[in-house]
Amino acid sequence: MDITNVKQYEDELSTIETELSKPETASALKKFRELTKRHSHISHIVNAAAKLKKNLQQIKEAEELIHDNSNDEEMIEFAKEELSEAKAASEKLDFELKRLLLPKNPEDEADTIIELRAGTGGDEAGLFAADLYRMYLRYAESKGWKIEPITTNLTDQSGVKEVIFSVSGDRIFSFLKYEAGVHRVQRVPVTETSGRIHTSAASVAVLPEAEDVEIEIDPSDIRVDVFRSSGPGGQSVNTTDSAIRITHLKTGLVVTCQDEKSQHKNKAKAMRVLKARLLEKARNDANASRSEQRKSMVGSGDRSEKIRTYNFPQNRVTDHRIGLTVHALEEILNGNLDKIIIPLIEHDTQELLKQQFGHGK
């Protein structure tokens, strides 16, 4: 691409750095955070453009070397090798710069709430949901992200009926949005004596956390009920009425939280989940009007879509949205989820590049 178009970003970077150096900017926390985020993004663009510029110079020098040494076979061979490597690097750098220049989705910067529930398959579905939960915990740990449990509902067999947790860190939603949908497992359950393969499922909802300025909830629009927490089998795990159930009267959305011993903390967590669900509903309503564009994007967040199969006998994980199959099931369940997520990101990026620049790589 024409890297001279990056000049405006170099100018903007200089302006932001001047603003950040002012004492009054440092004291205005909201403005300071916004400028810092923008500075980071613009810096990546400017650095990528500098690398591409240097690479294009290497291509030019290699071509000149071939032209100026037409009688030196050894030098020509050396220059051709340099040229081949530089051109390959140029494609990657050009792609990276275009990716950075794509319009940013503000939701990609958001912290995320994940709702994971066992689906069809009885006890085996709960055990599979627990496997997915451990996978997300290990993936978050590998990324340096922070996990905070919000509500947990376990089965008697150490499986998961439902678990809701938040993930905070750098650009969380841009990675985890691809996990939304139905995950299916094919394996022989530990309780199966005949060796027959069963198919079970779990559903994953991935919600960007809502800022207070995005979602305001009128207290008159909710009903708050308190009750005593219970664990697997229904036994009481608390001696006080600390569990909270919030019902949003206008939409019928219901959120329950009982993990904390404090009623106040449970209510705060439940409100976070309710706000995220209301934001998701607003987002889905808005996306309905541009459904054609969403069809080409794999991170659409459809809860009912079967997105992935984990086949234990074949050591296979298949993502059905892009037809990707990886024979590394144990590695993926141990948290190496980038083997699936990075190709999904690349697919979406290619689609966006086609829309923005008329072509992909």
Range of the domain at 19: 3-101
The answer to whether residues 202 and 273 belong to one domain is: yes
The answer to whether residues 204 and 254 belong to one domain is: yes
Residue 237, phi then psi, degrees to nearest 5 = -115, 5
pLDDT band at 333 (very low <50, low <70, confident <90, very high): very high
The answer to whether residues 214 and 326 belong to one domain is: yes
Is 313's pLDDT higher than 70? Answer: yes
Bridge partners (DSSP) listed for residue 20: none
The answer to whether residues 276 and 307 belong to one domain is: yes
> Looking at this protein, which amino acid is placed at residue 331?
E
The answer to whether residues 112 and 97 belong to one domain is: no
Mean pLDDT lowest among 205-209, 316-320, 353-357: 353-357
CATH number at residue 17: 1.20.58
Nearest C-alpha neighbor of 135 from the set 272, 284, 334, 338: 334
If you search the block for the tokens 């298949």, which residue do you land on?
A: 318
The answer to whether residues 251 and 215 belong to one domain is: yes
| 196 within a domain of the structure (yes/no) | yes
Mean pLDDT lowest among 24-28, 71-75, 159-163, 292-296: 292-296
Q: Check residues 68 and 117 and name the one with the higher pLDDT.
A: 117
Pick the last residue of a domain from 76, 101, 126. 101
Mean pLDDT value across residues 217-244: 74
The answer to whether residues 64 and 170 belong to one domain is: no
Pick the last residue of a domain from 101, 133, 152. 101
Q: Check residues 248 and 170 and name the one with the higher pLDDT.
A: 248
| 278 within a domain of the structure (yes/no) | yes
Is 126's pLDDT higher than 90? Answer: yes
Buried b (16+ CB within 10 A) or exposed e, 147-157: beebbbbbbee
Q: In what order do the strands lie in the sheet with 198-208?
A: 146-154, 160-168, 112-118, 198-208, 181-187, 306-311, 316-319, 324-326
| 191 within a domain of the structure (yes/no) | yes
The answer to whether residues 82 and 139 belong to one domain is: no
What was the pLDDT predicted at 233?
Answer: 47
